A = this chain, B = another copy of it.
Amino acid sequence: MAAGTASSKAQTIADEVRRRIVEGQWRQGDRIPDEADLAIEFDAARATVNKALQLLANDGLLDRRRKAGTRVTVDPVRKASFTISIVREQVEQAGMAYSYRVVAQRESPVPDEIAARVGLAQGEVLVRMRAIHYADGQPFQLEDRWLNLHATPALAGVDLRQLNANEWLVRNAPYLRAEMAFSAENADYRDARLLETRPGRALLVLYRSTWNDLGPITTVRVAFQPGHIVGTEGNFWSGLHHRSRMPRANARQSP
């Protein structure tokens, strides 16, 4: 019956507060005791209680305002976080052979749409490259990337045809800001050909742009193999395992 896993004191307090909320002892909109009182109840320093409550507030479960106190959030706006790893590692971790092929690469002026997306002047010349990532020889994802050499001077000397841009950037060009968006698109002829599927198939598409203090580094459209799923809980849990549809059985666990 007792929970068990002894973690930090702050975490323990956070868990207990969360429990009280989940079990309805403290209801949505209620004001909960202030830090000082909780500190007494849990026999902890106020700073520790503060840390615990901040954890829950970051989780969106609590609403804290100076002087007004801490309340249980009425409309918990919850956050879900996805981790983006390096494609090659993702594939290799699934025990499959990774390969990579650059399909096209050349300098060209940015289309207005892209320029607007990343905040560049119209007509600026960027490097555009299209590449495919394979898992066990099957196309796994297709990337269509615009690279801004001005933000990453070091890249200029590199032979992009040889190199995995994704990987190079991740390792050598830390960014300050990133934006991502998911959408779904019907595969066009080019998508279909490169991903070895039929035009019209629904593809999960990820747009990602990154900036450093010199400006936009890169913006990329990543189209995944049909059926691919991107989920929380640490990683992509790819359609890598034999293209199944909605696998994933998962055990419930106590936190």
Closest B residue to A231 by beta carbon equals B181
Known: A81-B80, A84-B80, A171-B75. A184 touches B181 (CB 8 A): no
| A83 surroundings in chain B (CB, below 8 A) | 60, 77-80
Contact B76 A229 (CB under 8 A): no
Residue A249 CB within 8 A of the other chain: yes
A216 CA / B119 CA spacing, docked (Å): 44
Contact B82 A81 (CB under 8 A): yes
Closest B residue to A211 by beta carbon equals B252
Chain B proximity mask over A55-80: 1 for CB below 8 Å, otherwise 0: 00000110000000000001111111
Closest B residue to A22 by beta carbon equals B174
A9 CA / B171 CA spacing, docked (Å): 29
Contact A186 B201 (CB under 8 A): yes
A186 to chain B, nearest CB (A): 4
A141 to chain B, nearest CB (A): 13
Contact B184 A204 (CB under 8 A): yes
Closest B residue to A181 by beta carbon equals B231
Which A188-229 residues have C-beta < 8 A from chain B?
Answer: 200-205, 207, 211-213, 215-216, 224, 226-229
Residue A185 CB within 8 A of the other chain: yes
A193 to chain B, nearest CB (A): 17
Chain B proximity mask over A111-139: 1 for CB below 8 Å, otherwise 0: 00100110100000000000000000000
List residues of chain A with CB under 8 Å of any chain B CB: 18-19, 21-23, 28, 60-61, 74-86, 89, 113, 116-117, 119, 170-172, 174-186, 200-205, 207, 211-213, 215-216, 224, 226-233, 237, 246, 248-252, 254-255
